[in-house]
Amino acid sequence: EQLAGDLLPEATEAQRVASAFHRNAATNLEAGTDPKEDRYKMTVDRVNTTGTIWLGTTVGCAQCHNHKYDPLTTKEYYQLFAFFNQGPMETRQQGKEMGMAGLVAIGPTLPVNLTAEDQAVLKDETQMYRARLAELESQVRSQAAALLKRRADAVPEKIRARLESDDSMSLAECKEVVTKVIKRSGLNSEVEKIEIMADRLKAARGKDLRIMQDLPEWVPTMVAKRGDFQSTGEEVRPGTPASLPPFSEDLPRNRLGLARWLVSPENPLVGRAFINRMWQEVFGQGLVSTPEDFGVQGAAPTHPELLDWLAATFVQQDGWSMKQALRRILLSATYRQSVAVRSEAAEIDPQNTLLWRHPGQRLKAELIRDQALAISGLLSRRLFGPNVRPHQPEGVWRKTAGASETYWVDSTGENAHRRGIYTLWRRNAHYPSFANFDAPDRAACTVRRDSSNTPLQALTLLNDPAYVEMAQAFAQRIQEEGGSDVAERLQWAFRSAVARAPSAAEMDLLNETYTAAARQDSSDEAGWVEVATVLLNLHETLCHN
């Protein structure tokens, strides 16, 4: 569905939405950008992502020349390219009109067959809606301009000149001006009126999402010599590498056919690549340690028979059910091993390649924050919805071309404590605490994250206001739920953080920490905040064990 949800017969809304995965390739709509070059780069990204995720193959090496190690030619690369080269070309104007790859409305859809009477009513309502939309935008712009003129001394010259010009100004820009300038002038009632109008306009527009969509007419694909989109060679048709199972003649030569070829029983590579990444998520390293490269230059599998058995069971028995495959791995004796080191085994296999113990690994960036929120009792378990903006340091967020948000406005209430997956992430302005713990920048597909240990990570957990808030909330929870005396609370807090009872030595250290902090600050609360901070920063809290 992520490859071709929009092409499925009688595709549901959810299936079409799934294709947004490939639609969300990096775009460049700045003035002066060559739309053909931008389209070429977007398509290259889709081909490389598909090859990496589903085939475990470095297909990108064949973009400019035949692959130096694996049996993949440049012609075959552009045959894969042709599958994704059937969408409209995006231009700056098309971007404004949201016309690049189709829009899917999140909500009720219009009937397919409209009578002449229905069409007339729809036309009248559309004209009325457009008139009201124009009226609201005009009101927002004119009232913002009028307010700024009344406080001209508080408005930067650049903004005032923009408002006084004939150039259009977006609703988002007007709202930012109101928020950052007008509120400082004390015109709160006028500000509220503008915000009410903005909310009405936003509600009237509804929610839209860009998805993939092919053009009705065939778009020819040429081989780009040496990867130069301007230097074209022979025309190619959609196809797959000759070294892989053949592309059935019964399949359509489009993204839907490619998707069906990938998951066909005759193509075992996809199951292997997928189950290897699942193993990597659980153990920190896949049975093939180079999940992006199953080719000649990649690492050989440490347990080839196990990889084949897991892949075959995943495809044939589980029906591609990730839940069943994950259950099988987690219930295995291999996963349930201790992280304890045995000297005799370490001498034979010092890198633990054969998994004679549980490897242990640090949680991923998003999970570190999620776990701290859960332990502190702040985590919101709400599902779905728009992105959120938890607190981050000033100056990290910055406006880029085509973006409407100039400032990062912290989410409040429940939205400040939602899971990390919902945090807004811009490719050139990363959420700092995630970046410090090696979260990728998402500029390209990443199937294996780097892992580092830096002072910034400790500083983040100790000083980031978000983590300070979590420590304070955990301290409050300890006092309310942990029991009546200090020892009982310390045991409860330790078990809440690491899921086991503390040893006598650990209890002594925690008690000393609590006593010293409470004595220094003359506050019982300070002692529990110190204990909470220590527990949230333990190696055992931050890592799988």
Query: What pairs with residue 236 in β-bridges?
Result: 221
220 and 300 share a domain?
Answer: no
- What is the reported pLDDT for 6? 84
Confidence check: pLDDT of 118 > 70: no
Question: Where is the domain boundary, 206, 224, 247?
Answer: 206
Q: Is residue 533 part of a domain?
A: yes
User: Would residue 537 count as lying in a domain?
Assistant: yes
Q: What is the mean pLDDT of residues 282-301?
A: 91
Same domain for 238 and 191 = no
Distance of CA 368 to the CA centre of its chain: 16
Per-residue pLDDT, averaged over 336-352, amounts to 91
d(CA 97, CA 329): 48
- Report whether pLDDT(30) > 60: yes
Band of pLDDT at residue 355, cut at 50, 70 and 90: very high
Q: Do 527 and 437 share a structural domain?
A: yes
Q: Across residues 426-446, what is the average pLDDT?
A: 85
15-24, 58-67, 336-345, 486-495: which has the minimum mean pLDDT?
15-24
Find the domain containing 124 and state its range. 116-206
Question: Of 359, 388, 409, which residue constitutes the final position of a domain?
Answer: 359
Per-residue pLDDT, 21: 80
386 occurs within a structural domain = no
Burial profile 38-48: b = 16 or more Cβ within 10 angstroms, e = fewer: bbbebbbbbbb
* Same domain membership, residue 130 and residue 82: no
Note whether 145 and 199 are same-domain residues: yes
**C-beta of residue 50 within 8 angstroms of C-beta of residue 34:** no
What confidence score (pLDDT) does residue 192 get? Answer: 65
List residues bridging with 24 in a β-sheet.
Answer: none
Helical residues (DSSP H) of 302-342, grouped into ranges? 304-312, 322-330
Question: Does 525 have pLDDT greater than 90?
Answer: no
Of 224, 245, 262, the domain-final residue: 262
> Domain check: are 309 and 350 in the same one?
yes
pLDDT for position 95: 44
Domain count, the chain: 4
User: Is there a domain that residue 128 lies in?
Assistant: yes
On whether both 449 and 545 belong to a single domain, the answer is yes
Q: Please list, residue by residue across 195-217, b when 16 or more beta carbons sit within 10 angstroms of its beta carbon and e when fewer do.
A: eebbeebeeeeeeebbbbbbeee
pTM, two decimals, is 0.75
For residue 403, name the pLDDT band (cuts at 50, 70, 90). low
Same domain, 34 and 149: no
- Say which range, 52-56, 104-108, 495-499, has the weakest mean pLDDT: 104-108
Of the pLDDT bands very low, low, confident and very high (cuts 50, 70, 90), residue 396 is confident
Burial pattern 353-373, b for ≥16 Cβ within 10 A else e, equals eebbbbbbbbbbbbbbbbbbb
Question: Long-range pairs for 441-448 at CB < 8 Å and ≥24 separation?
Answer: 443/26, 444/45, 444/48, 444/49, 445/45, 445/48, 445/49, 445/52, 445/53, 447/52, 447/53, 447/277, 447/291, 447/292, 448/280, 448/290, 448/291, 448/292
Q: What is the mean pLDDT of residues 9-33?
A: 79
> 375: closest CA among 258, 513, 534?
534
What count of other Cβ atoms lies within 10 Å of the Cβ of residue 496?
20
Q: In angstroms, rounded to a whole number, what is the distance separating the alpha carbons of residues 41 and 48?
A: 10
DSSP-derived secondary structure letter, 223: E
User: Are the C-beta atoms of residues 24 and 425 closer than 8 Å to each other?
Assistant: no
Residues 504-515: b if buried by 16+ CB within 10 A, e if exposed: eebeeebeebbe
Across the range 9-20, mean pLDDT stands at 84
207 — pLDDT class (breaks 50, 70, 90): low
Structure tokens, 68: 């130096």
Q: pLDDT-derived band of residue 308, with 50, 70 and 90 as boundaries?
A: very high
pLDDT at 371: 95
Q: Stretch 475-496: mean pLDDT, rounded?
A: 93
Model confidence at 372: pLDDT above 80: yes
pLDDT value for 437: 92
pLDDT value at position 239? 92
Range with the poorest average pLDDT among 185-199, 258-272, 299-313: 185-199
- Cβ atoms of 372 and 408 closer than 8 Å: no
Dist. CA 42–CA 78, nearest whole Å: 14
One domain for residues 367 and 485: yes
Residue 423 sits at φ, ψ, to 5 deg, of -70, 130
Q: Which of 446, 47, 400, 525 is nearest to 255 (CA)?
A: 47
Same domain (yes/no): 482, 368: yes
The verdict on residue 287 lying in a domain is yes
User: Are the CB atoms for 511 and 487 separated by under 8 Å?
Assistant: yes
pLDDT one-digit tens code per residue, 90-111: 655 444 444 434 444 444 444 4
Residue 396 falls inside a structural domain:
no
**Residue 217's pLDDT is what?**
85
Same domain, 221 and 284: no
Judgement on whether residues 202 and 245 belong to the same structural domain of the protein: no
Secondary structure class of 103 (helix, strand, coil) = strand
Residue 162 vs residues 141, 144, 177: alpha-carbon distances, Å: 11, 12, 11
More confident residue, 33 or 306: 306
In this predicted structure, what is the pLDDT of residue 102?
Answer: 44
